Structures are given as structure tokens and as C-alpha cells.
Amino acid sequence: MAEVSLRKVVKRYDDVEAVRGIDLDIADHEFVVLVGPSGCGKSTTLRMIAGLEDISDGDISIGGDVVNDVPPKDRDIAMVFQNYALYPHMTVAENMSFGLRLKHYPKAEIKSRVAEAARMLDIADLVDRKPKQLSGGQRQRVAMGRAIVRNPKVFLFDEPLSNLDAKLRVQMRIEIKKVHQKVRTTTVYVTHDQVEAMTLADRVVVMNKGRIEQIGTPTELYHNPATRFVAGFIGSPAMNFVPCRLEEANGRLYIRLTDRISFPLPPARAARYQSVSRNDRLLLGIRPEHITETRPHAEPGIEPFEAMLDVTEPMGMETLVYFSLNETPVCGRVSPNAGARDGSPLRMAMDLNNMHLLNEASGLVI
């Protein structure tokens, strides 16, 4: 087991920079998820850690040793691929033991390691089958088993669940988490699915356009995003961004959303935004769950307003409502009993204690 660190890592393809200088430290035993839209460089970063791609610039070290020029087989890593990449002509047991057999481990040890991993992954009765006789979920378990038996320093996962159907994906997600809790191997996991990132990670690395946007625990990223990209990427439905202005009246700071809607800021927020220029083009960032039906009692920072609903989506335990503020579409989450109907007005409340203010030009959260 070991820590992994990346120093100013760059990957260039001819004239395109896929990864533009990444600094990242992954602690021993840590489960880190690289997440971002396709083409953000997350897979390339993972493949550079694996040694499947050369590094154009910078250093990667595993367990303290710089591995820039170390071939994959000597990096002591194991990788799980999106399409499983099982050897089709070998049985499950042979697939799992291939790496150990190449390294000439004693037969008895290979056997016990395979049996142990198979038991952990619940595939003990499948070890004599060929990959084509297995379902997608079972194949993915075998692929994980192949990684586990090697007992490597680092596990690398490259979108391992995206070939599975939604239900199985949730199940395997839990399975992966369980395995990590048992073996505690340092893990780097790549996905484009922010739910997977949030649920699995000790720390999430959000990437965009070859750069790291933000690194943090799932809750940090959720509650304190640093940029508009992170704020919009993490969370589903996504955070709303409404153009707004700061105004001062009667010695209080107000946030103006439309000609008719203007809310006084809660004191804590007002203090934080006091120095923001009143002329800047700003965005109010607010998550759908902070736009709800009105509460029976007035609470500080929770401001009522009325909106004409365009569309409502009843989800069962909640109803998603869509309306516009100055032609910006906004999503809110109300109780199914709030009486929300398509095309009718609804009184709602915005929880400004959980708001974010963003500079529209820089995309940074203030």
C-alpha cells in the first residue's frame, strides 16, 4: 500500500494538451475519485498513473518513488477497465490468477488468494466458468477479483460501472465500497457520474478541460464549491444560477433577482459580500432543495416569493417544480402536498442561508 502523488503532470498529444499540469496527493488507504465531463483528462490522468500513457511533463510517484519511466508491470498497480477486459479463453480462476502465475507464485498461495478474493466478491461458485458465461455484473466482479488477488499498492478503476444497467450499478457501487473497506488499498477511481463520485470517495477531484477545478470531501464540494463548474457539476438536479445584483437600502444589503423580487441578505452573508462591487455582474447559486414551499413560521434568511410554475415533476417523495426568474429557468423541490400544478402560481421560499454568490465573469464563488 502506498501514497500516490502527481506533480505538475502534463499530457500533450501533438498540439493538444489533454492534461495541463495537475498537482494531486493521494494518501495511503485513501479512495480518491476523479470526476468530470468526457474529455476533461481524467482517464488520461489515470492511464498515466498506470503507465499506459507516457507523461509529457511533471512527475508521478507511487510510494515515494518517481515512476515516470517505470513500466506498468513494475509499478505494482492493478486496474479495472470499463469493458472488464477479461481474457476470454481463460476461466474465472485463470483470469484472476494470471498476474500471479506470471510472477511464478507458488501454486498453493495462488489458490488460496483466488479462493479468498472469490469469496469476498461472492463469485466462489463461478471460478470454473469462462467470461462469456457470466453476466455483466459477474464479469465486473471477476475484473475486481483479478485486481484484488495481486494485492497491489494501488487500485485503478477506469469507469468500471458505466457498462452496467442502473440497478446493478448501484449494487456494484456498494460492493466496491465494501471491498475497499476490507482491503484498504489506495484507490484512484475515474467516473463521469457525480453520484458515484460522491458516494464512493473519501476525496473527490473535479476536473475540467485538463485542469483540477477543486479537490475536497464530497460534503465540502457540495456545500462549498469553489467554482461555477463544480457548483453546477456536483448535485442533481443541478444548482440554479440566477443573474442578480447587490443593492443597499436602509443600511441593509439586498440581493435583487428581478424587478419585483429582492431579498435582504442574512447578516452572515451580508458581512461576507459587503466588499463586493455593486456593479459586478453576479450570479446567485442556489440548490433546488433550498427553494421549497413556504414554511408555517417565518425563519431568518428564508424569504418567500411567488412564481408561475412552467412544469412540475412529481417524483413521489418530492415534486420538482420549474419556473423562470428573468427568463432564467429555475428548479425547486417542494413537498408533494404543496399543491404545485403545471401553469399555476405557487408561493415558495428561498433559503438564502445556503446561497452562493458567484462572479459571472470569473466563474468563481465569492
Which of 11, 139, 141, 146 is the binder for another protein (CB under 8 A)? 146
Q: If binding is defined by CB under 8 A, does position 150 make contact with another protein?
A: yes
Selected range binding another protein among 95-103, 113-121, 218-226, 314-322, rule: CB under 8 A: 95-103
Q: How far is the C-alpha of 130 from the C-alpha of 140, rounded, in Å?
A: 13
- The smaller minimum CB distance to another protein, of residues 149 and 246, is found at 149
Q: What is the edge-to-edge ordering of all strands in the sheet holding 319-325?
A: 291-293, 345-351, 302-314, 319-325, 328-334
Verify binding: residue 110, another protein, rule CB under 8 A: no
Is residue 98 within the footprint of another protein (CB under 8 A)? yes
- Shortest reach from residue 89's CB to another protein, in Å: 4
Residue from 8, 103, 107, 119 that binds another protein (CB under 8 A)? 103
Number of residues engaging another protein in binding (CB under 8 A): 23
Residue with cell 502465475: 101
Contacts of another protein in 74-93 (CB under 8 A) = 77-79, 81-83, 85-89
Is residue 148 within the footprint of another protein (CB under 8 A)? no
Cα–Cα–Cα angle for 91, 93, 97, rounded to 5 degrees: 115
Q: Which of 1, 10, 52, 124 binds another protein (CB under 8 A)?
A: 52
Note whether 73 binds another protein by CB under 8 A: yes
- Distance (Å) of CA 30 to CA 7, 164, 193: 18, 25, 19
Number of other CB atoms surrounding residue 23 within 10 Å: 12
**Residue 218 CB, nearest approach to another protein (Å):** 28
CA distances from 84 to 110, 147, 206 (A): 21, 11, 25
Separation between Cα atoms, residue 141 and residue 156, nearest integer Å: 14
Residue 82 vs 359, nearer CB to another protein: 82
Neighbours of 282 (CB within 10 A): 23
From CA 186, how far away is CA 178, in angstroms rounded? 14
273 binds another protein (CB under 8 A): no
* Binding residues vs another protein (CB under 8 A): 50-52, 71-73, 77-79, 81-83, 85-89, 98-99, 102-103, 146, 150
